[in-house]
Amino acid sequence: MANKRSSKGRSSGRAAERPAKLSVPRTVAPRVDQVAADPTAWFALEISWAKLVTARFLVFGLLALDALRQIPHAPRYGAGDFNVGQLAMFDTLGPGRVAFGACQLLIAYTLVLAACGIATRLVLPIAAVLYAWLYFGSQLDSYQHHYLVALVLLIGCFVPWERPASRGPTVRSWAVRLLLVQLGIMYLWAAISKLDPAWLDGSTLSTQITGSMRSLIESTLGFKLVAIAVVVVELVLAATIWMRRTWSVAAPLGILFHAGILLTGLEIGLFAVLMIALYALVVPDRIWIWGAEHAPLGGLRKLAARTGWGDLGIAIALGLGLAVVTRIPHALVVAVVATTIPLGLALRSHLRGQAPSARLGLVHVGAIALWLVLDRTSSLTVDYYKFWGGSQRRLNHRDTAEQAYRGLIEVAPGEATGHYQLGRLLLPTEHSDEALAELHEAQRLAPTSARAFVEEARWLAGNGKLPEAVEKARQATVAEPSSQDARALLDSLSGSRPAPRSGSADDDVDQ
């Protein structure tokens, strides 16, 4: 007996010396008394905090980027005082240009805060309400997946995205399960909608795929087989994405499926990337737990752990400064409105006897810095003014179109389109001298484009300056030998054929 106890003691000692292995908590079926206390317990899904935080950052970060990418479309909203809503009640309540652009900025701001776990119970409902209004308020938003995004934001309002002070290893949430069920419904309906001969024979798919992906399909499986495979994959994902036991099938299949869609180059916005981000909820927990343990975030955590009103004051001032140099219309006004969120949160902390966290200021600055980064590294602001000027010009709102093109010249003086379109607008007015100066600037900035030369030649001819008009038309043919407008105008001024109509065929391409 002594030997057995000794052996058992030694065995226990060796077991105590061995390091504990990292284990991923398994889902445990709720007891009957738990279900009685919480009727949603049977439906809830238990996942690790590391997984939830990763999904939060990826999904809301991408949605913030997508909101900013919609801003160039703002000038189309309310143009001509006409609107058709996704729901009839919004026909007269849809957003206009200013409201659309400002709301997208505020949505992007609130979603960055949500991505970083700042006051998700407050900022997510704000983003969800604004997003739903913009989407359902006008059929100008033709992306069907934006309907899914509206539902994701709504369901996300009920997910406990912020980790409580208890710091338990997992979280149980019915809203996370509902989010995955919604994705399953999406896949099911997508498969049902494709049960049509036009899809199943591959003809519809063949019209959507181009480039190297088209060559790959044609040389391997063929469009008919791929079209049928798409339906099968969607049905499998509909049945597997919302159950933990089938995630080993759903995760690789779904990620590869949407990566393939991304490679096709289909013009569907960030849908494929967003879907891959949502699969963070399906990828095994142990991967995110390992990533959280090895992420080099020590320095950032120390900085975010600072507290004090001074840091928040500096952050607010810096955020307003970034908004001032952001060229997106109404950025400063929206930044002032957005600043009420960190100020309100800091005041709440003060009333609770706590100093505001530096993390709040850091995220505030980062959210506004994102506006500036996209403004300066993409054509977002330039496209905004182009679309605004183009829509107003087509509606014959000359004063507003002039305002838009002057704005375009201000934010992008090296862009020939602004100078050309402003010159065209001013030529018939008493500001013809300024108009000619703008056309000359457009000619300098785009020496291989004929349209500014052609526009000036027409004006010269209409004002009885035929020799100058012929010379300018000749310059147009030299600048762009392939331009039919330039060649036809030169021939007409030389007496060979009637003069073509005013305006070039590519005017609406550049807005």
Query: What's the CA gap between 183 and 45, in Å, rounded?
Result: 15
Both 261 and 126 in one domain: the answer is yes
- Domain range for 405: 380-493
Both 363 and 433 in one domain: the answer is no
Report the Cα 215 to chain-centroid distance in Å: 30
Domain presence at residue 15: no
What confidence tens digit (pLDDT) does each residue in 339-371 have? Answer: 999 999 999 988 888 888 888 999 999 999 999
Question: pLDDT over 90 for what percent of the chain?
Answer: 62
State which of 234, 259, 287 marks the end of a domain: 287
The per-residue pLDDT of the chain, averaged, comes to 86
- Tell me what pLDDT residue 315 has: 93
- Compute the residue count for the chain: 511
- Tell me what pLDDT residue 298 has: 56
- Tell me what pLDDT residue 267 has: 67
Phi-psi region of 141 (alpha: psi -120 to 50; beta: other; left: phi over 0): beta
- Tell me what pLDDT residue 401 has: 95
Region 45-71: mean pLDDT is 94
Query: What's the CA gap between 445 and 407, in Å, rounded?
Result: 18
Query: What's the CA gap between 123 and 339, in Å, rounded?
Result: 13
- Tell me what pLDDT residue 230 has: 93
Both 320 and 446 in one domain: the answer is no
Does the pLDDT at position 5 exceed 70? no
Both 267 and 333 in one domain: the answer is no
Domain presence at residue 406: yes
Domain presence at residue 76: yes
State which of 232, 259, 287 marks the end of a domain: 287
Is 480 in a helix, a strand, or coil? coil
- Residue 6 corresponds to which tokens in the numbers above? 């000794």
Both 130 and 270 in one domain: the answer is yes
Both 413 and 430 in one domain: the answer is yes
- Tell me what pLDDT residue 261 has: 86
Question: pLDDT over 70 for what percent of the chain?
Answer: 85
- CA distance between the termini of the chain: 93
Both 85 and 188 in one domain: the answer is yes
**Pairing status of strand 170-173 against strand 45-48:** antiparallel
Residue 297 confidence class, pLDDT cut points 50, 70, 90: low
- Residue 15 corresponds to which tokens in the numbers above? 């077991």
Region 79-93: mean pLDDT is 83
Q: What is the total count of domains within the chain?
A: 3
Which residues lie closer than 8 Å to 378 by C-beta, 6 or more apart? Answer: none
Give the chain's radius of gyration (CA, Å): 30
